[in-house]
Amino acid sequence: MNFVIIDVETTGGSVNASKITELAIYKFDGEKIIDEFVTLVNPEIPIPEFIVRLTGISDQMVTKAPKFYEIAKQVIEFCEGCVFVAHNVAFDYGMFRSEYKTLGYDFRFPHLCTVKAARLIIPGHESYSLGKLTRALGISINGRHRAGGDALATTELFQIMHEKDQERLIGLIQTEINPKKIHPNLSIETIDGLPQKAGVYLFYNEFNKIIYIGKSISIKKRVEQHLNNTKTAKAIKMIQDIVRVEYEITGSDLIAMLRESELIKIHKPLYNRTLRNSVFSFGLFDQQNEDGYITLKVESLSKNDAYPLIHFNSRKDGIEFLNAKVEQYQLCQKLSHLYKSQEACFHYTIKKCAGACVNIEHPADYNKRVNQCFDALTFEGRSFYIIDKGREKVEKSIVWIENGVYQGYGFAPYHFHGKGPDAFKRYINKQKEDRDIKTILNLFLRKNEWAKIIDL
């Protein structure tokens, strides 16, 4: 597999409003550079002074350089059959697509981002900007903010990751949507124009019926994943049925989860069949055993008719959560179904369990800690607002809980909270609570300890 490691310099920071002034492409075969293509480009528009200061590329330097349309065919031929690689690939790949779009050509290549790859394969760095990351790795850049220097440094970074974990690196390649595999009435341009923001998205079929509802922190990325998913017959059938995509930007991932749950229950989409009644499939259940101890167990909702203390997306999430609570409240592994034994649990042998598993600790003492754990799982009786991101920078989102009951959510101007909590209610769209809503809120508060809470 060959890769083209690319960097571009442009007239500005906006993909749609900028033009390329320089590009560098290094063809890499997994071991070494086998070819290169580096050139200045005449953008046919003036280069802003602050860009000249940043890159050193001036109008005079590009006067005799080729215009993009003059090298467009050569670039395509050079990149043919390769994976497009760049540091912050969204920008460089976006610039290529924009330049080719003005020429009436739909530029589409499988692509990979070395920022995302580096975060996974070489974690723990303070910054993943090209300058700081390469400096930390001992990679020198000869010509920072010039396409050739930055592209060569990116190539060295890519080689380090390729040698360290080739399988994971290859797994990060994003493939483009194949127009032949989607419904002929679904516009690729529409998909390209989807926002990379948090929100919900809705798929419609040719009969104008909603067939799937989802949520994501990046609507565009998640929709593209759906349209590239050919792993199951169900996924392929859904791709072929989609003729229109609509979306709602929420800004907040919490609001997206709440809105998704609400819409699924209203519309009951065909391909959300497993989500019609609940978006969670596992729960934490409690039961008192014959010795008077409260036992805990993570179990599938389909295997237990009782109402769970808390819900989870997966068994793995539930087990991780329960393990943490066993540590926090010094609960018994055996009574929490985390340690199978006829004798004492492992924690008892290292003095982290007081012996409930072998009837040494009195049930009342043990159950007191279990109930303390229960109390921390809920917000029964509490009244508060959760303040989170808005749809734009000028607003915030609000979720209202009154006496432990979810009241709804809304959006307010960024500085609204200066007026005091009593003024928040005017921005709320009233909603009904159900078990999924309560679980979503609990899940969010557990995983986001940084969340801004305003108590009433």
Active centre residues (catalytic):
145
Tokens of 300: 């599938």
Tokens of 11: 């007239």
Alpha-carbon distance of 75 to 69, in angstroms, equals 10
SS3 251: coil
Residue-by-residue DSSP string for 62-98: HTTSPBHHHHHHHHHHHHTTSEEEETTHHHHHHHHHH
Question: Is residue 89 a contact partner of residue 117, using CB atoms and an 8 Å limit?
Answer: no
Question: Is residue 38 a contact partner of residue 152, using CB atoms and an 8 Å limit?
Answer: no
Alpha-carbon distance of 10 to 16, in angstroms, equals 11
Residue 319: HSE in the Cβ half-sphere, 13 Å Cα cutoff: 7
Q: What is the identity of the amino acid at 262?
A: E
Tokens of 61: 């330097």
Question: Is residue 202 a contact partner of residue 213, using CB atoms and an 8 Å limit?
Answer: yes
What are the angstrom distances between the C-alpha of 161 and each of 4, 85, 351? 15, 13, 43
Q: Which residues lie below 8 Å from residue 115, measured CB to CB, with a gap of 6+?
A: 87, 88, 89, 128
Q: At what angle do helices 435-447 and 253-267 cross, to 10 degrees?
A: 160
Quick count: other Cβ atoms within 10 Å of Cβ 204? 18
Quick count: other Cβ atoms within 10 Å of Cβ 358? 14
Residue count (the chain) = 456
Cβ neighbourhood burial of 230 (10 Å; 0-12, 13-18, 19+): exposed
Residue 32: HSE in the Cβ half-sphere, 13 Å Cα cutoff: 1
Give the H or E element holding residue 348: helix 346-349
The b/e string for 366-381 (b: 16+ C-beta within 10 A; e otherwise) is bbebbeebbeeeebee
Question: β-pairing, 111-113 with 83-86?
Answer: parallel
SS3 116: helix
